[in-house]
Structure 1
Amino acid sequence: KLVDVSAEMPACDWSPGCYLGFLGPSMGLAVDRVGTVLVAYHAGISPQSPQQLYIRASEDGGLTWSERRQISSQDPAVNNAFPAVAAGPAPDDFRVIWQDDRIREQTGWNTWYRRTTDGGQTWSLPVRLSNQPFGASYKDWAGYAFPYGDYLELEVGDDGTNYAIWGEGGSYDGPGGTWYTRGQENR
């Protein structure tokens, strides 16, 4: 499907923007083997408020979309960021990972996982992937201090195995590292 036919950037008048923070909106997208599209994205309900994680699904190639569903913590004070989506081997099977700070500690950021097998209608309980309290100076029982979410990815193998990789650190400037896990969920 052709997405864009423009040959050059349109003329624009640029002006300095305002930097509202590192956790600007982002989204992940996946398409299952029968063409269902699922997007996960984070958005705030008011300016500069913590952003919640939502999903929408489309069964007609993106012409129409389901109502948004929140799949993150229901706590409005929790920041959610950097979703990645992957389609599983069966129709309507999608998995989402993201980072949030629901554990209200200085090192309370973690990477989380959820799965749907009905195209986004219902979801598994959240699973904390970043549950290792050791291995780096910036980690403890609560998690890590800063999400490097633009270094986050999820893939699903033909046998349903999840492969997740993400970046995390002690601050925006580091130190930080890349963490990887794989496995299948018992459903």
Structure 2
Amino acid sequence: MKKLTLLALFLSVLTSLQAQESELSEGILFDGEPYLAMDPQNPQHMVVAWMGYAWLNRIAIHYRVTFDGGNTWSPPAFIPHQVDGYTCADPSLAFDSEGRVFVCYIDYIEDGSAGAVYVRRSDDGGLTWNDAVEVISVEEDPGEYPLDRPWMAIDRSGGPNDGNIYINTKPAPWEPIPNASYFIRSTDGGASFEDWVYTDAPGWSVGDFIASPMAVPTVGSDGLLHIAYPGWDPAESLIPRIMLA
């Protein structure tokens, strides 16, 4: 009887785990690079964004929303391009302390001749999105195309910088070394973004030997911004390092 009870319990758990799987993209061609964010004020509320083919719109940023922990999702939708003929990549999502959700992504021409990183805000939990705000364009730091991997973090500490948005980017992957890492911030809740600066600093430099140095930001509960990024400058260290700024 004990073995039968354990077997029944195992099958029940297995069935429960399988029931939690849901196909969200429902695409017929390419779908990839998904990003999932949970509302820190309501764990039943989640938003997912991904790159996916959209009819007559090339690759676009698709999204869906759940308010019941993933049991049901809003219909798939996609964010319109800034310019017809553009394509999108690399979505990231984050909530602020007021429960608003932000999406950051690239919208560009694939040869790198035009485009930018953009941020949009949603005031209804991710069902609709406000107009895009430019973060950094392909023309910045000429010849480097600093749009790749625009990862985003938002201060939710309740401190003096609450609501600040922080974004790191890197050059396009086809750009030869030396490369740099870029940092951009908004201090007005994403209404505008300041001019970019390099992520690294003397003594903690990316150096001339790291291709496409990807940086990742996060904000602690105390409001302190942390950025992890790679670097290798033999004048500073004989071995490659991961720095924490």
Is TM more than 0.5 here? Answer: yes
Larger radius of gyration: 2
- Whether 1:40 and 2:45 are equivalent positions in the alignment is no
Among 128, 152, 168, the alignment partner of 1:165 is 168
Distance of 2:112 and 2:137 partners within structure 1: 16
Given that 1:99 and 1:112 are in contact with CA atoms closer than 8 Å, whether structure 2 keeps it comes out as yes
Change (3 A) 1:51 1:76: farther
Distance 2:184 2:76 in 1: 29
156-165 vs 106-115, which moves further:
106-115
Report the equivalent of 1:174. Answer: 176
Bigger fraction of residues in helix: 2
Cα distance in 2 for residues equivalent to 1:59 and 1:27: 18
Structure with higher RCO (Cα < 8 A, 6+ apart):
1
3-state SS in 1 of match to 2:171: strand
**Matched pairs, number:** 158
- Distance, in Å, in 1 between the alignment partners of 2:166 and 2:77 is 24
Are the aligned partners of 2:133 and 2:191 in contact in 1 as well (CA < 8 Å)?
Answer: no
The SS at the match of 1:77 is coil
Kindly indicate whether the alpha-carbon contact (under 8 Å) linking 1:80 and 1:101 is maintained by their aligned counterparts in 2: yes
Instruction: Calculate the aligned-residue CA RMSD, in Å.
Output: 3.4
* Structure 1 unaligned spans of 5+: 6-22
Matches within 5 A, 1:1-187: 25-32=32-39, 33-35=41-43, 36-45=45-54, 50-73=58-81, 77-91=85-99, 93-101=100-108, 106-131=112-137, 133-135=139-141, 137-138=142-143, 144=145, 147-149=147-149, 152-158=150-156, 159-169=162-172, 172-175=174-177, 176-183=179-186, 184=188, 185-186=190-191
How far the C-alpha of 1:157 sits from its partner, in A, is 0.4
Query: Taking structure 2 as the reference length, what is the TM-score of the superposition?
Result: 0.55
CA contact (8 A) 1:54 1:72 kept: no
Question: Deviations 1:15-60 (Å, cap 9, x if unpaired)?
Answer: xxxxxxxx972121111121210011110146xx821111110011
Amino acid at match of 2:90: F
Q: Which moved more, 1:171-180 or 1:76-85?
A: 171-180
Conserved 8 A contact 1:87-1:95: yes
Deviations 1:158-181 (A, max 9, x none): 211111111123x52434432111
Q: TM-score, normalised on structure 1?
A: 0.70
Gaps of 5+ in 2: 1-12, 18-29, 157-161, 193-245
